Structure 1
Amino acid sequence: MFHEEHDHKQIKILGETQKIYENLIPFLDCIDYTVSKEKYEVKKNAIYDMLVTVPVPENLEDYYKSKDYISHTDSKKSLFDKVYQAVKFITLKRKLKLMNSFKTSTKNILDVGAGTGDFLKTCKENNWNVSGVEPSLDAINIAAVKGVFLKENLSEFKNEKFDVITLWHVLEHVENLKEYMATLKNLLSENGRLVIAVPNYKSYDANYYKEFWAAFDVPRHLWHFSQNSIHTLFSEVNMSVEKTIPMKFDAYYVSLLSEKYKSKKTNPFQALYRGFLSNSKAKTSKEYSSLIYVIKNS
């Protein structure tokens, strides 16, 4: 089944990205716990030091249609919702502080995968000129109520330039990865910054939970990055990583979900312990559960 669907889908993958699918070796099998309960292979590309989800479903957009897909809602019903929303309030302040550290004259920012618009709302309230992209119409409608008006596709931005482009846990979802990276580079002003947050499959929590690690999130996460892969991929479009910043809250949130997948129970104390252990070990290894990369033109 994997082979037939994988071959069929790759017809739609563009040339440069297609190369990442070459010479893959088995790594592990994961289950889609959010929507379909289907099994997917996660394979390794040793050249880029990254993992790849196969196959890519033809109807990938349907795998985002779940009340549990929290970035498209403002839900506060479950324990996970409440933790997510509480942490989001704190991280928004930290993200804004990072944005304000970039000395720009026009303060034009583009958020790709803007969700329900909270980050752009925070930026707008702090004198940034905001633009955003979000494929979910439900999320777009929620953002509009907050005064943040989003477009559906990156292609709607033609000749514009941005001082900062952000992708908060978005790059792992992009189908034609290399081509998308080139598009982002073209939208960036000469001295602009690309800010990308992605999970790190080399973290302690990833290695501990293995196929139950929630940040694999197959099939929605097509790519699973290491620090090496981010450096290598962006060097190919003449960009370089200027700074790497840990996202320490992610270890706890991901561990909460991973415990639920692994033991069929919430186990908050076990999850908090694993999150703490992950961050503690990362003080030495620098392999945090998720990382923010600040990237500039070389």
Structure 2
Amino acid sequence: MSEYILEAENLNFSYMDGTVALKNLSLKFEKGKKFGVVGNNGAGKSTLFLHFNGVHRPEKGKIIYKGASVNYNSKSLKELRKNVGIVFQDPDSQLFSASVYQDVSFGPVNMGWPEEKIRTKVEQALKRTGTWDFKDKPTHFLSHGQKKRVAIAGILAMEPEVIFLDEPTAGLDPYYCAEMMQLLDDFNQTGATLILSSHDLNEIYAWADYIFVMNKGEIIAEGLPEEIFRNAQVLRKANLRKPWVLDVFDELVKNKAIKEETPIPRKKEQLMSLFSQLQVLDRLN
């Protein structure tokens, strides 16, 4: 039986200017899984994320954490935010301390951990995100990509059960994009639940266990990545494009180069392996 760590039930939310951001939105996140939330700009992804650690409070509906509705008093919100972390799309909205080390240690210090544990967790987070070498540097001197990694380090240092990441690889070069996705995989292996939004559909397709598609404040589809990204109607409605690995695979099936029951590749390496098998078969024939 599935264990859901976070749920949204009939969320409704509008901004002060009257913009309707979420409309009767419901979804569930299963514990320990990797989720992708996709949709075009203005779909409501960032607004949804900010509901899950109490930054926004729904006008109607509720957030459920470990089976209990979120209570919005200060004690309950503090406990929630210890366990549910958010990495914002713009790192400048998250970094405020004088140095990188101070910024990453802010959360652990406020959790009341012993000094030795704080040092250990901060050092681990800095090294895992490749930010250790500039730990003493002022945050305002960092590049956008460096700031992004420091913001993620600050969340990782607190070891939350759930992390929401809003466009975590935006502004990173290809090397650090790959490093970041591997880092998130590693953290997931410790049992953490990860929810990621991204406009890079190739990245989401290769990484996520399950996909939610948002459009105009609503969930219009959910399912396995290969199911969602093969649904032309959903892609059209949400202004999304099929990931290239899946596109190439479907062309091979369409042209009868491979059988329809061939396992669907999720990553480039899996597709290349499939090409290698086809070349071997051609030589044998």
TM-score using structure 1 length: 0.28
Task: Say which one has the larger Rg.
Answer: 2
TM-score using structure 2 length: 0.29
Kindly indicate whether structure 1 or structure 2 has the higher relative contact order, using CA contacts under 8 Å at least 6 residues apart.
2
